Chain A
């Protein structure tokens, strides 16, 4: 009992800070930014699972994030249009609502699609790729190509997706005015709770037999196969789970930030997330989450302080962490703890 309490103390502390302290202390604008970082943290958690535990370096999580985001945005756009055409279709010369859009008027369908859509694509891709024993750099390149292709597709279909502009100008979510600070606070809490729940569930999963199998596949795929397991299945399931998380994160991100565009899901943002996980520490799930929050915060802070050269600082931070602490921020904290106990 006491041991369990101790084990969960860090999580409980963070949860109290996130759910109680942050909403009380932060101004609405800052709280909105924190909600955004936490959305990215959900994606990062998925990357922590698939890359940190499963050894599959995915450079295309932005695709799943984007699918989730666009599903949600389609619902929001249709509510806003109130039976008419969304604004961007009008100026793109579309005259009738495309059939693809029709079911997204239903919020349940949109939310379910935000999670299942990415999972389905991950299952298809995973089945094709992992059965062929594509791994390592080849898998990374493939996912990156997927992200690039997705952007081209979205930009090219302006009448269907809003093109480079993407979609913005959302007013309400489930009847709540999105401009209200109280709505934004609720959204923040929703994101924080989802992240917490997913974190606990993922940790449970990693500690289960399945988790050990996943790590075994990472460390010796052929041996696992000779033992009679199917590594392709394990990997596909993991990849799909991470895709589902990214999709859900995208669906939460859109009402929080108020916009979705191809710029949010291409190669660069996908890479940024992987970098964030590396900075936080990919071997521990908490490291992935921490990395997303730290990098998100660093981006905001640097760009506000040094509008002209903040990108250099962001890059320097990455290089610094990677050279001085290859196991990321969480690794440094672990080392500090060991130093104290010896």
Chain B
């Protein structure tokens, strides 16, 4: 023991040191390393793996077309493990150890909030691909998903047009649903709508009979659903068995896309409306190519969804900014990015110079019996991103997060 214990400890520390110093030298001159940081294990894996796959597809396509600045993109994949501190740790690793040019990653708001200080501290770039609750614009994050005025507010406009005046709010207990509902309540107050109830359940909750009872008794015209993950399975099942129908009381969801429909079971959710910026059925030439390429690479039974498309776009938008800047250097890329406009599967998107979000077209769709989503309404043109809702008089006081 006298000898072996210190020797083992020494070996351990040396192993750590070797791992530290053994990092490969900065990218070979003909390669550019980019980080992909999503949950590949844990509760979020089911959603985030598909985004990672879409990003890998974009990298493949760009490499086949000659790469960026004549260099090949090399993805470095890390697992955020559905655990926010792990996201922060792996982001640090990608930036400091692998010295990647940029990172594409995250899904939950919590993971983004955990990564934000890391990217700001090391002045590195993050491309975040999911719709979120707004009230944020970090100078080191590009947001390629919708902010609230491109998803939630159009969703409310749609309900209003349909003559729905009494709403019930159901959500998971974390920052996105709570912020979303704050906005919904302000909108309702300004538009003569009534909120009959507001209920939250913990993430991963699966017992919804009490809540469904409350909803049924309140008799709202519509339900606004911000539940996330597997809770939706239980909620929609129990709602259906309580006799609710999509015609008399539609449940508008903002976190259910093609991928999740399969998990929930089409029978339980067909006919319900959802709000996004992209559907697999969106009719653009770029989307036809995207869907075909995705299925060819990952299997014919796979579906494409809004966050996947936003991740896929992020890679292309970054590549475009790098081409324009002539370098992968972060500040130069940031400077080159504003105004970049591409025809993507969801239609035209443009990077806003002020808040680094995208101009996006809002689309309301209805879930079809085949599991796909059919668009029933769209905003006609891309909406300017407004994360702090400065352009909405009724929202003043909400956006004090600055």
Given known contacts A14-B9, A179-B121, A258-B117, A165 and B97 CB-to-CB distance under 8 angstroms? no
> Which of A29, A257, A264, A303 is in CB contact (< 8 Å) with B81?
A303
CA distance in complex: A6, B32 (Å):
53
Interface centre among A36, A164, A286 (most CB of B within 10 A): A164
CB distance from B35 to the nearest CB of A (A): 11
Given known contacts A264-B85, A303-B81, A169 and B117 CB-to-CB distance under 8 angstroms? yes
**Chain B residues engaging chain A, CB cutoff 8 angstroms:** 1-6, 8-10, 12-17, 19-21, 23, 40-41, 77-79, 81, 83-85, 88-90, 92-93, 96-97, 108-110, 113-114, 116-118, 121, 133, 135, 173-175, 178-179, 182, 202-203, 400-401
In the complex, the answer to whether B16 meets A258 with C-beta atoms within 8 Å is no
CB distance from B53 to the nearest CB of A (A): 12
Task: Mark each residue of chain A from 12 to 29: 1 if its CB lies under 8 Å from any CB of chain B, else 0.
Answer: 011001100110011111
* 15 A-B pairs in the complex with CB atoms less than 8 angstroms apart: A6-B2, A21-B13, A25-B20, A33-B89, A88-B175, A152-B202, A155-B203, A169-B113, A179-B121, A258-B117, A261-B85, A263-B85, A290-B9, A307-B40, A334-B1
> Which of B1, B92, B110, B121 is in CB contact (< 8 Å) with A333?
B1
CA distance in complex: A258, B115 (Å):
10
In the complex, the answer to whether B175 meets A158 with C-beta atoms within 8 Å is yes
Q: A165-B109, A307-B79 are in contact. List 6 more A-B contacts (CB 8 A).
A: A10-B2, A26-B17, A30-B19, A92-B175, A164-B203, A310-B79
Given known contacts A165-B113, A293-B12, A29 and B92 CB-to-CB distance under 8 angstroms? yes
Interface residue? A52 (CB, 8 A): no
| B173 surroundings in chain A (CB, below 8 A) | 155-156, 158, 163-164
Q: What secondary structure prevails in chain A residues at the interface with B?
A: helix
**Chain A residues engaging chain B, CB cutoff 8 angstroms:** 6, 9-10, 13-14, 17-18, 21-22, 25-30, 32-34, 36, 87-88, 90-93, 152, 155-156, 158, 163-166, 168-170, 179, 257-261, 263-264, 286, 290, 293-294, 297, 301, 303-304, 307-308, 310-311, 330, 333-334, 336-337
| A36 surroundings in chain B (CB, below 8 A) | 89
| B174 surroundings in chain A (CB, below 8 A) | 155, 158, 163-165
CB distance from A68 to the nearest CB of B (A): 15
CA distance in complex: A95, B42 (Å):
35
Task: Please name the residue on chain B nearest to A13 by beta carbon.
Answer: B6
Given known contacts A158-B173, A164-B203, A9 and B97 CB-to-CB distance under 8 angstroms? no
CA distance in complex: A260, B88 (Å):
11
CB distance from A335 to the nearest CB of B (A): 10
CB distance from B138 to the nearest CB of A (A): 10
In the complex, the answer to whether B79 meets A303 with C-beta atoms within 8 Å is yes
